[in-house]
Structure formats: structure tokens, C-alpha cells
Structure 1
Amino acid sequence: MPGAFKQTLFALIAASSFASFVLILVAMGTPKWMTGKILCKTGAELVNATDPELVKFIGEIYYGLFGGGKMRKCGLGGRRSKFTIFPHLVKQLNTTLHVLIVFFLCAAFSFALASLGFCIFNIIKVPYRAIQGPAGIALWNFLAGGFAVLVVTSFMAAVKLHNLTERIANFRENVFQFVILEEQYEDSFWLCVASAAVHGVNLLLVAISGIRFPTLKTKTEEANVTAEDIMY
């Protein structure tokens, strides 16, 4: 059985791996990865709206990996609508990149579960292979954290380089054109960042578990041998 110190560290890693798994599931299930303000450019140009009047043409949008919604304002009040990314909207986006983001997210929570399982195994049993010892736990945490980082960077690339918000805002808009005034990453996005950070901390804990601390040994008293001891 591993020592009490290692068991405590492995228990902490197991708890944080489970927390990372929950964070990723919550992030996948919520539709607010990004929010923003959208301007109905066509409507504003038609009436030649000035700054005080532009409020009537500024709506809102939010979306996640699988759907979202928006409120469009084109001078006649707000109109709310919802949309789903799959199967139609994804064709208007960078399909490969968006599918990769979903794949990376699934891989991240799968390896987080693997880390949890291997931590429990190492708490109750002495590892007899490197892949099942601290090296194995480090491997699964590295993979889980790496895929979480890929999710974050890929989503940021889709937003900044491929105009993700603008493409979604103009989906099925045949008359009006919308431009993005403001974008803001929301809680679900930051949950993925937190998941990556959790696995980074786990790697540090695995490194600490490999440190061999010096043990204090009590000095044994020298035995006094007498003639009677030799005889008997």
C-alpha cells in the first residue's frame, strides 16, 4: 500500500479530476460561451440613424457549442429567436474547427475520468507498472489538460480569426446585415479554462508525490553482552 502522504495526494488528485469532469460537462450543456451586442447595420443605414437613435438598432446574441439565441432590433422593437448549431448552422461556420472543438472537449472529460480511476487504483493498490503509478496519473492529467487547452485556443481562434459571432448573427438573414459591436466570453468558456488549470495543479501534485522525504530513525541502543549471555 502507498504511504499515507501519497494516499492523501492521490485523493486530492482524484477529487480535482472529478471536479474537472463536472466542469466540462456543465460547459458542454450550457449555451452561453459567448455573448455580444449586434447592430442592425441595414436598418440603421435605411433611416440614417444618429447616435441617440442607434439604441433602437442594437440587439443581443449569445451562443455555445450546440445552440444559442439572439434578439434582433431593426427599428421596430426587439424580436427574439433561438437556433441550433447542428445540423444546419454548422455548415455556415468553419465546420472542421467547430467539430474539433467538440471532439477535444469529449477527449478532455474522458481523460479526466481516466485520471480519477487511476488515482483510486493507486490509493488502494501498490502500482506494479509505471503506467499505473504516478507516471500514469501524470500522463492522463497531461492529456486531459492538453485537450482542455486545445478547446480554449480553438474556440478563441474561431471567434477572432473566423468571425464566429458575426457568422452566427447573420445566419438566415436575407434582408438585414448585422455587425458585431461587442463580444464577451462567458462562464462556460471560463469553466474550460478552470478545467485546464485543475489538471496543471494535478501535475504539480504528482511531482510532489514522487519526492522522497527523509525519515527520522531512532538510534538503537548497543546491546551489553555479558558472560552469562554467552553461556545461555
Structure 2
Amino acid sequence: MEPKKKNAMAVTLVLGILGVSLLIASFATDNWVTSSPVLQRSTQTPGNDTDGSATKYTGNITFGLFRGHRVLDYGIGPRPQDINVVCSGSDGVCAWSNSSDSAKRADYIKRVVKFVNINKTNGTVKDLIEYGLFNFGLWVSTIVMLALGIVWGLVSLGFTAFNVVGKPIETITGPAGLYLWNGLACTFSLLGALLFVGLFTKDLSSNVLPKDDVEVGWVSKDRTKLDYSFYFVVGAVLSFIASNVILLVSGQKLSCSYNRAGEKELDNGMILY
């Protein structure tokens, strides 16, 4: 292989490692979404909000694909809590539970499902969001797409390393295969990012709080945004795209340049025999 093309392969290998690392980091970190909810309630405390205006207490919530953390201040000091996602696949919904006990989380999702079943009849989707529910299908699809992105990214890394140190004689193991593996890793990573944007736009941007908090007066709408764990996925997509661009610019063709060499070696072996 020409030095220019081999150097391009090495750069592609580094970008592939970066892309896979970013995808793994997105799973490992719990900062896909961050929110700064406020507690709005009218008080008549003398010397404080005597005009009946809303008193606002602040909170902070961050979470990833499986777990998160929240701190809410009801006016008597911050109350930190870990939160975990609980789902009912049959009902197509997920919710956040602040209980560390699996039995309590199971009980919570049962109450959520009961609420869902009641409201399915009434068709009040707005109430479901206000209860802190989000779409199960979009959530699972996001995880599956990102997992496939990691798998194809690892496949791409393996074949890229083989191209750097070896001489592949099959088209699928040569540059054509690298275009394919990088393309698949990029596609699935991009689909995962788009699915999560859909989930965020549809459900999470409206409310990330359970109904108990909403009824007290906590509000998270217009105070929630995507956080850096999500942008790790965006970075991974760009890394896979850059890998294919570098392969293209370096002159790597969509056919393996070692096919003829392999055939020659085979012919020589047959002649010697």
C-alpha cells in the first residue's frame, strides 16, 4: 500500500476509535438531558410575596438513558435523589422513579400503568406527559440504534487495523469494506440521535417530573435542554463521516487493490505444485 494511503488508514483508525469511544461515553454518562425546574406557588407570608405573586424554588435534574440525579428545594433545603427509568413495554410508556428499591419501582410503574389504562380510554395524552411518562418505543429504539452503532464501529476498527498492518485480498476486507462499516456505524449512530431528539421534542421537553411534583407546583417546561452526553453521539457521527471523507480524499477506491496480488500468489502456488 502506498504510504499516503496507509497514513490515511491510520488517521481513519484514530477517528474510528474516537467515534466508538464517544458512543460508549454516551452510554456511560448520565447527562443526556438537563433541566432546571422551578416551584411556583402563591403565598401570603407577611413581608414576602404579600401581593400574591409566585414564589419560585429551584431544582436541578440530569439524567441519561438509564438513570440520573435530581435535587429539588421545597424551601427547607435541597433534597438530592437518584432516579431510575422504569418501563411498561406492554403499555408503551416509561417513567422516572426516585426509589432505589426495586419493589417500590415495580409498584410505581403499576400505578403508572393503571393511570395510562384509564387515560387511554379518555385519550388525554397531555395528562400522560404531565404524569412524567415518555414513549417506550422511542427510548428502546434509541438504545438499540446506538448499540448497533458501537458494534459496526468496532467492526470498522478491526478491518481498518487489518488494512494498516496487512494485505487484504477480499473486497469486503479492503477499502470498500471500510466505507461500508463506517457508513453503517454512522447511519445507526445518526438514527439513535434522531430518535432521541424525537423523544425529547415529543415528551421530555414538556415535562421530566412525576405527577406528584407537578401537582405541588413544579414546572420544567421551557427549562429543559439536551446535555453533553447527547452531543457525544453527534461527535461520533461526525467522526465516522470524517473517516469516509479521508478515505475518499486519499484515493482509496471501492475495490480492493490486492486482488491481483492474491491471485498471483495462488497461481504461483499451483505452478510449484
Q: TM-score, normalised by structure 2?
A: 0.68
Provide closer, same or farther for how the CA distance between residues 177 and 102 of structure 1 changes in structure 2, counting only shifts above 3 A.
farther
Provide closer, same or farther for how the CA distance between residues 166 and 45 of structure 1 changes in structure 2, counting only shifts above 3 A.
farther
Q: 2:142 maps to which residue?
A: 101
Larger Rg computed on CA atoms: 1
CA contact (8 A) 1:134 1:209 kept: no
1:22 paired to 2:21:
yes
CA contact (8 A) 2:59 2:72 kept: yes
1:176 paired to 2:216:
yes
CA contact (8 A) 2:175 2:252 kept: no
CA contact (8 A) 1:37 1:58 kept: yes
Could you list the per-position Cα deviations for residues 61-86 of structure 1 after superposition, in whole angstroms to 9, with x for gaps in the alignment?
11111111112233333222111114
Q: 3-state SS of the aligned residue for 2:199?
A: helix
Higher relative contact order (CA 8 A, sep 6+): 1
CA contact (8 A) 1:70 1:169 kept: no
Provide closer, same or farther for how the CA distance between residues 148 and 171 of structure 1 changes in structure 2, counting only shifts above 3 A.
farther
Q: 3-state SS of the aligned residue for 1:93?
A: strand
Q: 1:34 maps to which residue?
A: 33
In structure 2, how many angstroms separate the alpha carbons of the residues matched to 1:63 and 1:151?
Answer: 17
CA contact (8 A) 1:36 1:61 kept: yes
Q: 3-state SS of the aligned residue for 1:139?
A: helix
Could you list the per-position Cα deviations for residues 117-168 of structure 1 after superposition, in whole angstroms to 9, with x for gaps in the alignment?
1111112333322221111101111111111211221111111122x25543
Deviation at 1:171, TM superposition (A): 5.9
Q: 1:79 maps to which residue?
A: 79
In structure 1, how many angstroms separate the alpha carbons of the residues matched to 2:148 and 2:217?
Answer: 37
In structure 2, how many angstroms separate the alpha carbons of the residues matched to 1:103 and 1:171?
Answer: 29
Q: 3-state SS of the aligned residue for 2:192?
A: helix
In structure 2, how many angstroms separate the alpha carbons of the residues matched to 1:188 and 1:98?
Answer: 15
Structure 1 residue ranges without an equivalent (≥5) = 213-232
Q: How does 1:1-232 map to 2 (within 5 A)?
A: 2-41=1-40, 44-45=41-42, 50=53, 53-54=55-56, 57-86=57-86, 89=95, 92-162=133-203, 164=204, 166-170=206-210, 173=213, 175-180=215-220, 181-210=222-251
CA contact (8 A) 2:207 2:219 kept: no
CA contact (8 A) 1:166 1:179 kept: no
CA RMSD in angstroms comes to: 2.4
CA contact (8 A) 1:14 1:120 kept: yes
Provide closer, same or farther for how the CA distance between residues 209 and 127 of structure 1 changes in structure 2, counting only shifts above 3 A.
farther
CA contact (8 A) 1:27 1:192 kept: yes
Aligned residues: 205
CA contact (8 A) 1:170 1:177 kept: no
In structure 1, how many angstroms separate the alpha carbons of the residues matched to 2:225 and 2:33?
Answer: 6
In structure 1, how many angstroms separate the alpha carbons of the residues matched to 2:147 and 2:32?
Answer: 16
Provide closer, same or farther for how the CA distance between residues 94 and 107 of structure 1 changes in structure 2, counting only shifts above 3 A.
same
One-letter amino acid of the counterpart of residue 161, structure 2: I
Which is further off, 9-18 or 78-87? Answer: 78-87
